[in-house]
Amino acid sequence: MMRRNQTNDRGQLEMLTIDQLVPGDHLVRKLESAIDFSFIYPLVENLYSGISRPSIDPVVLFKMIFIQYIFGIRSMRQTIKEIETNMAYHWFLGFGFYTEVPPSSTFGENYEHRYHDSDGLKTSSILF
């Protein structure tokens, strides 16, 4: 006999953290524990102005590239879509449930105008 789901629990309210949603053996947890991404800050420090509007953390931008490469996502636009829906990626980037994911154009602008000719991106490409 065919049975239909009689309940819809999509609106169920739970108290949990993003940390609870990411399995302990997920690859992003292994990456986070194996790599200290703070090496990026001194590499790109001279590319940022101290008087301009607040920027997106450069480590977040590099981790977005990492997600794209490690998980075989073909474009930054698709990477952004994946980050928007995947809580493991949110966790890896240090985002909360309601943190807005930067648009793909932000990455493109940073790469083209800030990182394109810098040693920071070239150094990080050793990782890839």
Residue 121: inside a domain, yes or no? yes
Residue 29 lies in a domain: no
Per-residue pLDDT at 116: 55
Provide the terminal-to-terminal Cα distance of the chain, rounded to the nearest Å: 52
Give CA–CA dist 57/18, Å, rounded: 20
> Is 28 a domain residue?
no
Query: Is 46 part of a structural domain of the chain?
Result: no
Q: How many CA atoms lie within 13 A of 116 on its CB side?
A: 8
Specify the residue for token string 């008087």: 51
- Residue 119: other Cβ atoms inside 10 A: 12
Asked if residue 44 belongs to a domain, the reply is no
d(CA 94, CA 67): 13
pLDDT in tens, 17-67: 999 999 999 999 999 999 999 998 898 888 777 777 777 888 998 899 889
Question: What is the total count of domains within the chain?
Answer: 1
Q: What is the pTM of this model?
A: 0.77
- DSSP secondary-structure letter at 37? G
Q: The domain containing residue 112 runs over which residues?
A: 57-128
